[in-house]
Amino acid sequence: ERNAFDQRWLEYELIDSFGIKLVRRTLAELHAGAQLDKDRRLFIVTLTGRTEVAVVYYRAGYGPGDYPTETEWEARAMLDRSWAVQCPTVAQQLAALRRTMELYSSTTRFALACNTSNKVIEPIQSRCAILRFARLSDTQVLSRVRTVAQRESVPMTPAGLEAVVFCADGDLRLAINHLQAAASAASGMVDAEQVFKVCDVPHPAQVSAIVQNCAMGHVDRALDAITALTKAGYASLDVVTTLFRVVKNAPTQAPAAATGGANAAAALVLPEYLKLEFAKLIGLAHMRILEGVSSNVQLAGLVARMARVVVPPEKFVV
């Protein structure tokens, strides 16, 4: 590129002061010499090894002319799927997309797929017809995941299949991604433990024990269990999300038999009124965590409030 010289001083400062190397590649070169691992980390592959990419800075790629073939589009999709920091940001790139949509609106129709439509900037939303699709049922996701596993010759236990469905929560694309990650990490049969480890989701059996202790008023045991989860490295949002799924799926009457895996929480039985109270408390905690209050104290307070539901009111009279 002709205007690269204004970046050279910054490049030299990064390598001299911090040891951060800068690599310049075209989209076609990235398609041939870059790859994503199972954790979506981006690597540049050379004859001497591979180097992880932390930041992607686009000096081009803002117009249709920068993507003459399918190769460039595939390279751009790989960059967008990676965990590397994008510069300019997605919002700034969407602003450039608006201009592209205006220029080619007479000959081209754009289809944008997203999980949260309100994160798309308003100028683009106003030019789109928004179609919303409901999440699939667990039965539909299970059927499709089983089909994919059979066609790809991925050996899985029934509990492993249920674990994939549990982690996906109605999102088929997420379920297939979890299946692929678990199959890549497993050396043999894919079971529930492998799936939860790869997905980095607290095991429902552990979360079920927390809910069970709260339902019995054993606040100390529940606090110890939730502290163990946070010490194991699970994020507060993941813990609260799994808590809600376990409470939502808990039966109000004892089932005939438990199947294990993601249904390892099947032994948990909650009366209807407890499910309602627990869901309300978990929803409030989820809202606070999304607002940024994600400390361990927030989780401890949630457990204490859940345990208080079953404690007789006279116990709190001084």
Residues 215 and 308 in one domain: yes
Residues 299 and 209 in one domain: yes
Segment 177-200, tens digit of pLDDT: 888 888 887 777 888 888 888 887
Which one, of 204, 210, 202, lies nearest residue 305 by Cα?
210
138-149 average pLDDT score: 90
Percent composition of the chain: helix, strand, coil (DSSP 3-state, to 5): 60, 5, 35
Expressed as residue numbers, the domain containing 153 is 138-198
307 and 231 in a single domain? The answer is yes
pLDDT of 18 higher than 80: yes
Residue 265 banded pLDDT, cuts 50, 70, 90? very low
| Residue range 262-278: mean pLDDT, rounded | 74
The CATH code of the domain that includes 251 is 1.20.272.10
**Residue 10 is assigned to a structural domain of this protein:** yes
| Contact status, residue 84 vs residue 54, Cβ threshold 8 Å | yes
How far lies 315's CA from each of 215, 217, 309, 318, in Å?
16, 12, 12, 8
Residue 298 lies in a domain: yes
Do the strands 55-57 and 85-87 form a parallel or antiparallel pair, or are they unpaired?
parallel
Q: What is the dihedral of CA 193, 199, 205, 211, to 10 degrees?
A: 170
DSSP letter at 190? B
Same domain, 246 and 283: yes
Residue 227 lies in a domain: yes
Whose CA is closest to 58, among 35, 37, 30?
Answer: 30
Shared domain for 308 and 215, answered yes or no, is yes
pLDDT of 281 reads: 92
CATH number, domain with residue 181: 1.10.8.60
Helix (H) or strand (E) holding 56: strand 55-57
The residue ranking higher by pLDDT, 188 or 41, is: 41
- 301 with 219, same domain: the answer is yes
Query: Is residue 263 over pLDDT 60?
Result: no
Residues 12 and 55 in one domain: yes
Measured at the alpha carbon of residue 114, what is the angle toward residues 108 and 117, in degrees to the nearest 5? 95
> pLDDT tens across 146-176, in order?
999 899 888 888 888 988 998 888 888 888 8
Cα-Cα end-to-end distance for the chain: 76
CA distance 107 to 51: 41
- Please report, for the domain that includes residue 13, its CATH number: 3.40.50.1760
Q: Name the pTM for this structure.
A: 0.57
Q: Find all residues with CB under 8 Å of 53, minimum gap 6, and list them.
A: 23, 34, 42, 43, 44, 82, 84
Residue 165 shares a structural domain with residue 265: no
Note whether 60 and 127 are same-domain residues: no
- Does residue 235 register a pLDDT over 70? yes
Domain assignment of residue 92, yes or no: no
Q: Decide which of 50, 69, 87 is a domain's last residue.
A: 87
For the CA atoms of 147, 150, 152, 158, the dihedral, rounded to the nearest 10 degrees, stands at 90
Work out the average pLDDT over 89-118. 77
* Rounded Cα distance, 176 and 115, in Å: 16
pLDDT at 296: 83
Amino acid in the structure at residue 77: A
Tell me how many domains the chain contains: 4
Residue 170 and residue 270 in one domain = no
Q: How many percent of the chain have pLDDT more than 90?
A: 5
Sign of the C-alpha dihedral, residues 297, 302, 306, 309?
positive
71 and 28 co-located in one domain: yes
